[in-house]
Amino acid sequence: MLVVNLVCRRGHAFEGWFRSSDEVTSQISQELVSCPLCGDPQVSRMPSAPHVARKSATTQDTGPAASPDAQRARELWLALRGLAAGAENVGERFADEARRIHYEEAPRRRIRGKASLDQAHELLDEGIAVLPLPGVADEDLDS
Binding site for Zn ion (CB under 5 A): 8, 10, 12, 35, 37-38, 40
Find the shortest distance in angstroms from Cβ 35 to Zn ion.
3
Q: Which is nearer to Zn ion, 36 or 91 (CB)?
A: 36
Q: Which of 4, 8, 3 is nearest to 43 (CA)?
A: 8
Q: Which is nearer to Zn ion, 27 or 89 (CB)?
A: 27
Contacts of 3 (CB under 8 A, 6+ apart): 15, 16, 17
Cβ density class 7-25: b for 16+ within 10 Å, e for less: ebeeeeebebebeeeebbe
Give whole-number Cα distances, 80 to 57, 106, 140, in Å: 17, 23, 13
Find the shortest distance in angstroms from Cβ 41 to Zn ion.
10
Cα separation, 16 vs 1, whole angstroms: 10
Find the shortest distance in angstroms from Cβ 30 to Zn ion.
18
Find the shortest distance in angstroms from Cβ 55 to Zn ion.
21
Q: Which is nearer to Zn ion, 12 or 102 (CB)?
A: 12
Find the shortest distance in angstroms from Cβ 44 to Zn ion.
12
Secondary structure (3-state) at 78: helix
Q: Which is nearer to Zn ion, 10 or 110 (CB)?
A: 10
Q: Which is nearer to Zn ion, 4 or 111 (CB)?
A: 4
How many residues in total does the chain contain?
143
